[in-house]
Amino acid sequence: MLFGAISFGGYCRGDNLGQCLAHYIMGTGFIAYGVILAIMLLVGEAWVRRSGRSPEWWDSWVILLWGIVNTFTEHRGSGWSVKDMQHTVLGILWWAGGLLGVILARNNQRTIVPSVIIIITGWAFSEHAQALMISTRVHAIFGYTLMLAGIARIIEVSFITPKFTPITEPPAADDNHSEHTLADSPSSATGLYQAVRAFRHLPPFLLVSAGVQFMSATDEELRFVNGQGMDHVTYILIMFSIAFIIYALVVGLIRLYATSGRNAPASSANEGGIELTATSKWYSRVPDADVEGEHIIGEDE
């Protein structure tokens, strides 16, 4: 769909290619970040525990490596424009902050450094002056959305899930832990747990929204929108609507994975920690025959 829109509009040609690559790659990165957070929230926490690394350790490495790439790819030509300086310094911010995050997140420790980097990045883009007023406003809303995502992530890391206890060995083979146990505790799906889980959807959704907004903020796109007489409020509302659709699709696909195929038996017998095994619709095992005791012929007979 993206490539179709680019081809239809004749975008990203000539001198505009660099800006398109920057917006689309970074916007896709924010969307991917949100999708990964959603996967970890819904089906991936067991993997995080087995890895023995906090999510921020992985986040910091990605930010560090992307910052190195961004530092040396944003300036082209001989003269330094204001945008070149801002983007290059953002790259330095990312690898410097990512390095600190890697150090602080070692030994399965959670850290707010990646969230702080997201907030600072959002602030920088919210102050990113553009040639058109609509472009300035769209970049500002993108920055505010990114800042909200960082703040929500700090709340999650600091107060909601401050630590993922690593799984160092397989769980004990008893009636409470096996491949057919549906839940670790019967109360895990009620009360405070559900409230916490609801809030944890906020950071990934805001990251997806920020990614969609940044991908829609190239000069060519906004010149077209401005020429159609559309204001920034309408345009941003359209982008948020697209973000809702994308996040709904992501959550729906994750839910489909968790409730179908090899995961179907565990999800179809949801009895709150009771160990059940679903039987096939077309097959049922024949019960074992009763074993009679052996009769030995002896001298008494």
The C-alpha atoms of residue 148 and residue 210 are separated, in whole angstroms, by 10
Question: Quick one: pLDDT at residue 140?
Answer: 93
Asked if residue 36 lies in contact with residue 250, where contact means CB atoms within 8 angstroms, the answer is no
Amino acid code (one letter) for 129: A
Question: Quick one: pLDDT at residue 196?
Answer: 76
The C-alpha atoms of residue 29 and residue 44 are separated, in whole angstroms, by 19
Asked if residue 118 lies in contact with residue 97, where contact means CB atoms within 8 angstroms, the answer is no
Tens of pLDDT, residue by residue, the chain (301 residues): 777 877 877 788 877 787 788 888 889 999 999 999 999 888 888 888 888 888 899 899 999 998 998 888 776 666 777 777 888 899 999 999 999 999 999 888 889 999 999 999 999 988 877 878 888 999 999 999 999 999 999 999 888 876 666 655 554 444 444 444 434 444 444 566 677 778 889 999 999 999 999 999 888 888 888 898 899 999 999 999 999 999 999 999 999 988 887 777 655 555 454 544 555 555 556 666 665 656 566 555 5
The C-alpha atoms of residue 254 and residue 267 are separated, in whole angstroms, by 13
Question: Quick one: pLDDT at residue 179?
Answer: 45
The C-alpha atoms of residue 256 and residue 250 are separated, in whole angstroms, by 10
Q: Single out the residue of 18, 61, 31 nearest to residue 145, CA to CA.
A: 31
Amino acid code (one letter) for 94: W
Q: φ and ψ at 83, to 5 degrees?
A: -65, -40
DSSP letter string, 255-299: HHHHHSGGGHHHHHS--SS-B--PPPSS--PPPPPPPPPP----T
Question: Quick one: pLDDT at residue 155?
Answer: 92
Output the CA torsion sign for 70, 138, 27, 13.
negative
Question: Quick one: pLDDT at residue 191?
Answer: 63
The C-alpha atoms of residue 138 and residue 218 are separated, in whole angstroms, by 10
CA angle 54-149-4, nearest 5°? 105
C-alpha neighbours within 13 Å on the C-beta side of residue 56: 32
Question: Quick one: pLDDT at residue 259?
Answer: 86
